[in-house]
Structures are given as structure tokens and as C-alpha cells.
Structure 1
Amino acid sequence: MNRADYTRQLVDVCDYIYDHLDDDLDLFRLAEVAHLSSYHWHRVYHAMSGETAASTVRRLRLQRAAGYLADTAMPVAEVARRSGFASTEVFSRNFREAYGIPPARFRASGDHTLYRATAEAQAGRLPAHPVGLRRLEQRVIAASPHRGAFVDIGRAFTRAREGVGASPGGMVAVYYDDPEGAPEAELRSAAGIEIAADAPLPTQLERIVLPAGEYAVLAYRGPYASMRSAYTWFYGSWLPQSGRVPADHPVVEHYLNDPAVTPPGDLRTDIAVLLEG
């Protein structure tokens, strides 16, 4: 076996985790999916992905839970159950370890609450996540298409990394739909790795060209679960007051650090919207 074979196994396991996140994910079963001995598979997974398989499952379940807390009124006990935790107590302990505060406090005062339509936000004063105008050059990404919940786009990033490996340009996602305006199963997006314009493209990936131009860039810091509220603030408060018009091009997110090794509160994302000239 060569590195490509091991990477394909990583993709298979990643897909299995996303497809069975609601199930009791047995780590020995993940070794079977990878077609490797359980004595060695978990070491391979950890070395290649930067986290253990158990940590991946926990992170994805907590990320989903944070989305429920930020965007719904679902009781915490129901959030715990839907996120695959045996009890509310176990869920609360794990959530606090990852996000720094208990679930109920996250719902009441997490980063997503900064973007609610308060008088301060409507007046355009939000120093925690400023919007700047940037002139960006043309960029090319090798991307894996994704259809379905945006929270599950990580599996597409795994496929992109399989095709081109890591890149100094970082991870980039393109979002074609508004999650409020389409059924979750029909949401379209693509996850990719920035590459040189003349770089060869693996057959399983598609080339997406991000045009040069002036972009409004929201420098977001915090959990991915709070980003929906950030979008609401951007489109409902910042954009109408800016006097600018968005161009006919989807939203682009540039991820500046790795969620596998970064606490949710320290995640940094540039949300970029191309503007008409």
C-alpha cells in the first residue's frame, strides 16, 4: 500500500462517520471500514488527520449540537439525545470542555448573539468581527462538490485533500445556496484546496475559479455554529448600510486554521462576498 491507498481509507472512514453520526460508532467498526487491523488503524488515522477517530466523532457531534443551540429552541436534553450523547450530564460536560461554557449559557450568550438585530448592530458598530473591503486576485481551487447540510461539508474537504494534499493557500468553500431558502438535502456547496492556476487537477475534483475583484470580507472568529447569525447581521445590517451591491457570485469562506486542532472559540474564517464594481 502507498500513501494514496491510506488516504482513500481515510476518506472511506470519514464518509462512514458522517453517515452514521447518530449511531453508536464503535472504533473497531471504523477499523473494519478502513480494512486495517484495529491495532494499527487508529494510529494511522491520528497521524494522518491530526486527531483520533474518537475526537473526530466527538467534535462533529458537538459541532452539530452547537448549531441546534444557536439556531433552534430545542431543549438541551433533546439536543444531547440528537447529538448522540448518553445523557444530558455527559453532553454538558463534553460541551463545556470544548466550548468553554455550558450549553444553556452558549445558547444565551454565545458568539451568535452578537449578530442579533440590536440597536448597536443596526448602527453598524460590531468591533468583534469587522468587515473590510479587500481587492483580491484571481484564485483557483481544486474542489469536491457537496450536497446536503453545510455542517457536513468536512467530508468534501477530506476528498479534496485526498486529491491534492495540503496547500499553503488553505481550505476554501463556496456556498451556492442560502440554508434558509432551500431544503437541507438540496443545499449546494463545494470544498476545496487553493492551487496554482496551472496545477494539474485530479479527475475526481473540479476546478473553480474565484474571480479577481473587490470583496467585502467579514473577519469571523468563533464556532462555525454561530456563523448563520453572522450572515444574518452581514446581509441585514452591514450590506444595506454600506451602499454596495453584491455581484452575481456565491459566498466564499476561507478557513484560516484547522478545526481538528483549534478550540471552537479560536476558529478564524474570512467570509468573502464579491461586490459589483
Structure 2
Amino acid sequence: MIQEKTISYYHQKASEVLQYINNNIGSDLNIRYLAERFHISFYHFHRIMRAFLDEPLGEYINRVRLETAVSLLKYSSEPLSVIAGNIGYADLSSFSKAFSKEFGISPIECRNDQSLVLNTHIDYRMNSERKIIVQLKPKIITLPDKKVCYIHVIGKYGSDEVQKAWDELEEFSKRNKLSGWRPGFFAIYYDDPDIVDPALCSSDVCIATKKDLKEEGRIKFKTIKGEKCMVFRYKGPYEQLWDIYEYIYKDWIIKTDHTLRDLPTFEKYLNFLPQTKPENLLTEIYIPIE
């Protein structure tokens, strides 16, 4: 019963978001604004919407704008520049470029040839397919406060820049004997690369420590506040973690009776060693909840 109520709640929230988008297609549909307006955690909003739409929300918004443009081109006499503004484009050039990319013809060609039938459909759809990637069952734990040394990185997740930060942090850790025999390697992810330019995504790579040392260069210290979390343990290559997140949000998050906190997810790497084969890598995914 709890799961049914929760699913209905998320369906209702998603329907409200999409109805608002369709009714305000010319507005600035900022993701953060939408999350705040409909009282959904910004850190989880995009993944929840994607779980229902089977496409990133930004792509959905762009598609609906262009499909709306087709109707306006065919059934109104408004100038192209006015249509562009009415559906949320800053100028005619960006509208024309996006339209041509989507449909393979220019807006003026669409208007002039009334016989054209473009593949458009502005009704949104909820995802009805559940593709099981792996079987993951979460546990609920309350983490204690944890002191870490860390480097804040701006760059694509998994990029060379992130790896350099790990190498620098690990060298610092070994030199100062921070980790002992059971090192704790963590990464906190602040951005979703579906809505933020991957090159601008920010993260913290962290190693747990109990020592008090002076900060050195870009290596800083902080305490990760203890939180109640839903924890998923995954075994396999890091390259498949994005698929794992897709599975988690489709098959667990939208069903849970727990409220997601407005905090970023983070990962703990249990056997983060060069000699570990990719298929044997163990990762714990932590999602803060109320």
C-alpha cells in the first residue's frame, strides 16, 4: 500500500511538472525553478523525471517546443521571429537551427509546404517499460560524521582531471599515513551531466582520515555530516554506474516510502585498487533520505 501511494505521488508530481511545461512552453523552464516549484529535491529531480519520460527533461522540453512550432507555422500567420519567442527561443537563428536539426527542413519550408507531415506528437508519455539491468536491494543506514581530506574537481566525471585528483590525493594520503589498512575512498557528485555541461560538472574526491593536518595546495579537509541513507552495493565496472543509477531511480526511488533529502548522492569505493579487475570492483551508492 505504501509503495502504491508513493508511486501515485510521484506520478502525480511528474504529471504536474509536464502539464506546467506544456502550458508555459515559452517561459524560462529552468530545472532548478521547476524542482523548487513542485517541491522535489533538485539533486534528484532530473533523474526522477527521466525515469518516467525515458529521455532527459531538457530534450523533452526542446522537442515539445519544436512540435508546438510546427502547429504555429502551419496554422498561424505570425512571423517566424514571433513564433520563436513564443516557444522560448532567444532569437530566430537559434530557433531555425534547432528546427532544421530536429526535422531536416527549415521553418520557412515547413510553412510554405502545407502537404508536409512531420513526425510530431506533443503529448507526453510516462515510461511503462521496466528494463532490469541488475538486481540491487538497498539497505537503510545512518552514517556517522566522517572527516575526509578532499580535492574539489570541475570536469567530466571519470575524466583524466578527476583521475589526477585521485592520484594526488592518494599520494598525500600515503605520505601522511592517513588511511591505515582500511582506506575509505569517497566521491560526492554535485551535478547531473544531463543538465550541466559535463566539462563543468563538479565533484569532491575524498579519502577518510582521523588525523589533523594542515591543508596543502588544493587538498582540503572537511567533515561529511552523518545522514540517513539508502545504500545500494554494486559489483562491476565503473563505466556502468550510469546505467545502475537509471535502474535505481526507475525501480527503487519512485517506489520508496522515504523522502529524498535535498543533498547530493555520493559513492564509496570498497576495493579501489589498481590490481582489482573491473568486473570485481565494489561500489556503494549512498542516497540521503529523511
Match of 1:214 among 228, 249, 272: 228
Match of 2:169 among 160, 175, 190: 160
The whole-number CA distance in structure 1 between the counterparts of 2:276 and 2:249 is: 28
Sequence identity percentage? 22
Match of residue 65 from structure 1: none
Match of residue 268 from structure 1: 282
Match of 1:203 among 216, 223, 227: 216
The whole-number CA distance in structure 2 between the counterparts of 1:214 and 1:230 is: 21
Alignment of 1:67-106 (within 5 A): none
Match of residue 241 from structure 2: 227
Stretches of structure 2 that go unaligned for 5 or more consecutive residues are: 1-126
TM-score (norm 2): 0.50
Question: What is the CA deviation profile of residues 209-261 of structure 1, one whole-angstrom value per residue up to 9, with x for unaligned ones?
Answer: 22112111110110001000111121232111111122122111110012411
Alignment of 1:60-209 (within 5 A): 119=130, 121=132, 127=135, 129-152=136-159, 153-165=162-174, 167=179, 168-196=182-210, 199-204=212-217, 205-209=219-223
Match of residue 51 from structure 2: none
* Structure of higher CA gyration radius: 2
Question: What is the CA deviation profile of residues 103-151 of structure 1, one whole-angstrom value per residue up to 9, with x for unaligned ones?
Answer: xxxxxxxxxxxxx985474xxx953x32111121111110011111111
| TM-aligned CA distance change 1:184 to 1:126, over 3 Å | closer
| TM-aligned CA distance change 1:186 to 1:119, over 3 Å | closer
Shift of 1:192: 1.6
**Contact 2:184-2:207 within 8 A present in 1 as well:** yes
TM-score (norm 1): 0.52
The whole-number CA distance in structure 1 between the counterparts of 2:197 and 2:273 is: 26
Match of residue 248 from structure 1: 262
Shift of 1:179: 1.7
The whole-number CA distance in structure 2 between the counterparts of 1:248 and 1:216 is: 14
**Aligned to 2:191, what secondary structure does the other structure show?**
coil
Question: What is the CA deviation profile of residues 25-54 of structure 1, one whole-angstrom value per residue up to 9, with x for unaligned ones?
Answer: xxxxxxxxxxxxxxxxxxxxxxxxxxxxxx
The whole-number CA distance in structure 2 between the counterparts of 1:270 and 1:154 is: 19
The whole-number CA distance in structure 1 between the counterparts of 2:260 and 2:187 is: 18
| TM-aligned CA distance change 1:162 to 1:130, over 3 Å | same
Q: Of Structure 1 and Structure 2, which has the larger fraction of its residues in helix?
A: 1
| TM-aligned CA distance change 1:224 to 1:139, over 3 Å | same
**Aligned to 2:168, what secondary structure does the other structure show?**
helix
The whole-number CA distance in structure 1 between the counterparts of 2:146 and 2:271 is: 19
Q: Which amino acid aligns with 2:147?
A: V
The whole-number CA distance in structure 2 between the counterparts of 1:120 and 1:188 is: 29
**Aligned to 1:156, what secondary structure does the other structure show?**
helix
Q: Which amino acid aligns with 1:146?
A: V
